[in-house]
Structures are given as C-alpha cells and as structure tokens.
C-alpha cells in the first residue's frame, strides 16, 4: 500500500484516516486476517512490552554483570528529587532502560525494531500513557504507527546495527516512537512524519560499538537517549516545527551513511567504545582471554 513516508502520509490524508489505521488495513490485507485477529496479535505484543517494563523496574541484572538496576535508580531519583529534565521525560528514560535491562538479562521483550533498540517504543509509550490516559486500543494503535514507520525504514534503509550502525537501530526506534507519540497526542499524519525526520536527523552517524560484543554497553543507555530524543522531537512537531529535509530523504541519508560506515563501527566490537582500554579490559574479564582486536 505504501513504499515510503510520503505515500504513507498521502494515504492517511486522502482517506482521512490515521497512520495507524493505514497500517492496520495493510496488515489485514497482507496477512488475510480479520481486524479482530490483527488487533489481538498486537495486543499480545503490547502485553509483552508491559511486562518487560514492569520486570525491569523491579530490578534485574545481566549475566555478564555489565548492566542492571539503572532503571530502579532512575525511578528512585524521580521519587526523591525533582528531575531537571522533567518527570515524563525521565519516566520514559527509566522505562526504556528497564526494557533493555530485561533484554540483557535474557528476559522476554518485543523487538521494536530490534532487541538492541527495544526500549524506545515501550519506554515512551508507557511514560506518555501516564499523561494522555489512552485507551487500550489507542495504545495498540501506537504500536501500529510505530510499525508503519519502521516498515518504511526497513524497506528503504536498514534496521540492523551490523548493516547500518546504531543509527539504524536506536535511531530508527526513536523515530518510530516519535511518530507514534504525535498521533497519540492528536497530531496529524504529516506531523508524525516531521517528528520522525527530526528524530532521525539527530541520530545520523551513530555507530554500533558494543563492548565485548554484548548488547549492553552502550546499548541500554542509548535507548534512554533515543526515548528522550523521541519525546522532544514529538513536541517540536506538535508545536509546528518542520524538518527542512523531508523524512524520506533523511531515511535515504541514513542508508547512505550506513553503507559508507567502516565495519569497525557496525556491531563488530572492533571500534568505538568497544576498542577503548576499559572496553578491552571488560572483554578480557568476561571471556578470560586477551582480545586481539584492533
């Protein structure tokens, strides 16, 4: 039904429906399933996300010991002090971190669009929920809106850190979240596209450099920053701010940047933070052998 963001927005505007409705109808057509079935399956995904956030906020620790407990620290800080960045923003950060800490602890999460970037969409959703009080259906639609923009990126660029760097993972996830926030807050399809563009523009060139090759450092905290980016970009779009570079061109730019990015910065743990003295020391400590990577 749509190949790019421009066509997605055009479909929604011409039929006077939401982005989420466009995606729901496409899913029904492609899978040949009823609306009830399609909505039910996404409801199940939402439940998985909800439990991951809840588990993470209780406190978990990864098997490597590299990550865990930060979501709890952030929630405690919010309870005891007045956050400089505001409650909603930091709540999204804590819930994004919670999700990725559960992932690192081998828990069940929903890849949105990948496991390494799974915190941005649910983190923002369950934070914004506290302010907008959406119905269950609106929360499900949030995921369809995210999915619509994620589908465009996957088809026209990449959602893989190994192929395009972390810009393709957390960058994509943050953009998906921003677009969904806008719709839930009552924005237009075009404003969702603007939010996606603003978010992704500010994450272009982000490398994938997992310490010791594990999806923990810096991945968990990058989801925190992605969630923050998404909320700010959504607010900007809702305020009427637009991206001078159209969303589809931003996605194309991300693809081209990923193509030219050295392999050392694409999930190989050969560069960036993974190649720092501390990064190498952590790798040696975990695996018990001195790294030969340069």
* pLDDT tens digit sequence for 204-234: 999 999 999 999 999 999 999 999 999 999 9
Alpha-carbon torsion angle 96, 86, 171, 59, nearest 10: -20
What whole-number percentage of the chain has pLDDT above 70? 98
For 5, the enclosing helix (H) or strand (E) is helix 5-15
Question: Is 294 a residue whose pLDDT tops 90?
Answer: no
What is the mean predicted confidence (pLDDT) over 153-173?
Answer: 98
What is the mean predicted confidence (pLDDT) over 257-281?
Answer: 98
Place of tokens 């929360």: 139
- Please answer whether residues 210 and 165 qualify as being in contact, where contact means their C-beta atoms are separated by less than 8 angstroms: no
Rounded to the nearest 10 degrees, the angle between the axes of helix 35-58 and helix 70-80 is 80
Give the three-state DSSP class for 276.
coil
pLDDT of residue 62: 98
Residue 1 confidence class, pLDDT cut points 50, 70, 90 = confident
Per-residue pLDDT tens over the stretch 56-85 = 999 999 999 999 999 999 999 999 999 999
- Please answer whether residues 186 and 18 qualify as being in contact, where contact means their C-beta atoms are separated by less than 8 angstroms: no
- Cβ density class 67-102: b for 16+ within 10 Å, e for less: bbebbbebbeebeeeeeeeeebbbbbbbbbbbbbbb
| CATH topology for the 5-287 domain | 2-methylcitrate dehydratase PrpD (1.10.4100)
Helix, strand, coil share (%) of the chain residues, nearest 5: 70, 0, 30
- Look at the chain and count its residues: 294
Give the three-state DSSP class for 111.
coil
How far CA 172 is from CA of 143, 197, 209, 247, in Å, comes to 14, 10, 17, 12
> Global pTM?
0.96
Residue 291 confidence class, pLDDT cut points 50, 70, 90 = low
Question: Is 50 a residue whose pLDDT tops 80?
Answer: yes
Question: Is 199 a residue whose pLDDT tops 90?
Answer: yes
Each as own residue / partner, the long-range contacts of residues 153-159 (CB below 8 Å, 24 or more positions apart, any chain) are 153/113, 153/251, 153/254, 154/113, 155/3, 156/3, 156/4, 156/248, 156/251, 156/252, 156/255, 157/251, 157/252, 157/254, 157/255, 157/258, 158/254, 158/255, 158/258, 159/113, 159/114, 159/117
- Please answer whether residues 168 and 226 qualify as being in contact, where contact means their C-beta atoms are separated by less than 8 angstroms: no
Which of 264, 260, 266 lies closest to 294 in space, CA to CA? Answer: 264
DSSP code of residue 266: B
d(CA 202, CA 205): 9
d(CA 142, CA 128): 11
In the chain, domain spans: 5-287
- Please answer whether residues 75 and 59 qualify as being in contact, where contact means their C-beta atoms are separated by less than 8 angstroms: no
What whole-number percentage of the chain has pLDDT above 90? 97
How far CA 239 is from CA of 43, 60, 192, 194, in Å, comes to 30, 38, 12, 11
Residue 290 confidence class, pLDDT cut points 50, 70, 90 = low
Per-residue pLDDT tens over the stretch 15-34 = 999 999 999 999 999 999 99
Per-residue pLDDT tens over the stretch 115-158 = 999 999 999 999 999 999 999 999 999 999 999 999 999 999 99
d(CA 128, CA 159): 24
């Amino acid at each position: 039904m749509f190949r790019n963001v421009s066509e997605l927005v055009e479909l929604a505007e011409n039929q006077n429906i939401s982005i989420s409705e466009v995606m729901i109808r496409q899913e029904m057509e492609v899978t040949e399933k009823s609306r009830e079935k399609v909505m039910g399956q996404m409801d199940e995904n939402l439940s998985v996300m909800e439990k991951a956030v809840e588990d993470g906020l209780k406190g978990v620790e990864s098997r490597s010991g590299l990550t865990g407990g930060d979501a709890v620290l952030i929630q405690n800080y919010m309870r005891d002090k007045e956050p400089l960045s505001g409650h909603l923003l930091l709540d999204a950060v804590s819930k994004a971190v919670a999700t990725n800490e559960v992932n690192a602890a081998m828990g069940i999460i929903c890849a949105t669009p990948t496991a390494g970037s799974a915190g941005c969409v649910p983190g923002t959703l369950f934070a914004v929920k506290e302010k907008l009080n959406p119905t269950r259906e609106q929360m499900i639609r949030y995921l369809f809106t995210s999915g619509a923009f994620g589908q465009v990126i996957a088809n026209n660029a990449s959602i893989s850190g190994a192929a395009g760097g972390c810009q393709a993972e957390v960058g994509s996830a943050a953009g998906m979240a921003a677009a969904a926030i806008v719709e839930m807050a009552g924005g237009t399809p075009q404003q969702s596209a603007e939010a996606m563009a603003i978010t992704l523009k500010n994450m272009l060139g982000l490398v994938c450099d997992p310490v010791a090759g594990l999806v923990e450092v810096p991945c968990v905290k990058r989801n925190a920053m992605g969630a923050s980016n998404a909320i700010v970009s959504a607010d900007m779009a809702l305020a009427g701010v637009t991206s001078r570079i159209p969303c589809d061109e931003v996605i194309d730019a991300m693809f081209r940047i990923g193509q030219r990015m050295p392999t050392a910065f694409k999930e190989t743990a050969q560069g960036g933070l993974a190649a720092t003295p501390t990064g190498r020391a952590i790798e040696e400590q975990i695996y018990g052998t001195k790294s030969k990577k340069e």
